[in-house]
Amino acid sequence: MSFEALKQKYISTFIEKRNDLQAAWDNKDIAQLHGLLHKLAGSAGGYGFDNLGALSRQGMELTNEDKIVDYKTLEKCYHKICLTLQSYTS
C-alpha cells in the first residue's frame, strides 16, 4: 500500500477520532481526553499532519495530571483540534 493510500486511510479515521474527543470533552473526562490526544499526537506527525500533532501535544500538556486544568485554554485547543480534523473530512 502506498504512503498516500495509508494517509487517506488515516484521514478516514478522523470523524471517529473527533467523536471520541467530543465524548471525552462532554464527559469532562480529562484522563480519557489526555489519552486520546496522546495517540493523536503520536500518529499525526507520522502521516505529515504536523499542525495536528502540535495541537495535540499542546492539549496533552494542558491535560497533564500534574497540572490544574485551565479549561478556558483547553477548550480553545480542543476546538482547534476538532476544526482541524473536520477540515480534512469536509
Say which CATH number the domain at 46 has: 1.20.120
Q: Which residue pairs from 14-17 have beta carbons closer than 8 angstroms and sit at least 24 positions apart in sequence?
A: 14/85, 14/86, 14/88, 14/89, 15/85, 15/89, 17/85
Summarize pLDDT for 41-70 with one digit per residue, the tens: 999 999 999 999 999 999 999 999 888 999
Structural domain tally of the chain? 1
Q: Which residues have a Cβ under 8 Å from the Cβ of 9 and sit 6 or more positions away? A: 1
Residue 90's pLDDT is: 80
Report pLDDT for 66: 85
**pTM metric for this prediction:** 0.93
Supply the range of the domain harboring residue 19.
Answer: 3-87
Q: What whole-number distance in Å separates Cα of residue 60 and Cα of residue 4?
A: 28
How far apart CA 84 and CA 61 sit, in angstroms, is: 18
Q: What pLDDT score was predicted for residue 1? A: 87
Instruction: Work out the average pLDDT over 81-86.
Output: 97
